[in-house]
Amino acid sequence: MKKLNLLIVCFCLFLTIAGTFSCKKSSTDDSNTINVSGDWKGTAILPTETDNVTLSLTQSGTNITGTFTQAGTSDPNNNGTVSGTISGSNITLTSVSSVYSGGSSLNATVNSSGTSMSGNFTSQYTGAPSISGTWSLTKN
């Protein structure tokens, strides 16, 4: 009977310890991440021109997907998809053009109210030199 009682006590202690660790917050907790879902409009400043840019984003946890359009003097109809992540207020996106072979790497910081973002980008399209610039968007 003593062995059975000891076994029950050990089992209860194991469940208590296991429950404590399983209730611990995850290191990937995204409760401080800003929600960027929605439509955004702004500009991309390139070395030779300023283009109009729109993003339509959907966010699930820290993952972001969506579409973009870009219209400028030398590039009136660029569009495609974006995907990436957000951590706190920092966004990292990759765009893939539906018009050209290639895309862009974009980084941005979102303001605390989630209504504007700005950052840097680098674009690389097949057969063209790499282009870097800045971008700034406001949530519609």
Q: Which amino acid is present at 135? A: W
Residue 109's CATH number: 2.40.128.120
User: Is residue 44 situated within a structural domain?
Assistant: yes
Render pLDDT for 38-93 as a digit per residue (tens, 0 to 9). Answer: 999 999 999 999 999 999 999 999 999 999 999 988 777 899 999 999 999 999 99
Helix, strand and coil content of the chain, in percent to the nearest 5, comes to 15, 55, 30
User: Is residue 32 situated within a structural domain?
Assistant: no
User: Is residue 24 situated within a structural domain?
Assistant: no
Render pLDDT for 24-34 as a digit per residue (tens, 0 to 9). Answer: 444 445 568 99
User: Is residue 7 situated within a structural domain?
Assistant: no
Give the count of domains, the chain: 1
CA distance readout (Å), 71 to 9, 10, 121: 70, 68, 16
User: Is residue 28 situated within a structural domain?
Assistant: no
What does the alpha-carbon distance between residue 103 and residue 97 come to, in Å, rounded to a whole number?
5
Structural domain of 108 = 38-139
91 near 85, Cβ under 8 Å? yes
Q: What percent of the chain has pLDDT over 90?
A: 69
User: Is residue 27 situated within a structural domain?
Assistant: no
User: Is residue 23 situated within a structural domain?
Assistant: no
Q: What is the pTM of this model?
A: 0.77
User: Is residue 5 situated within a structural domain?
Assistant: no
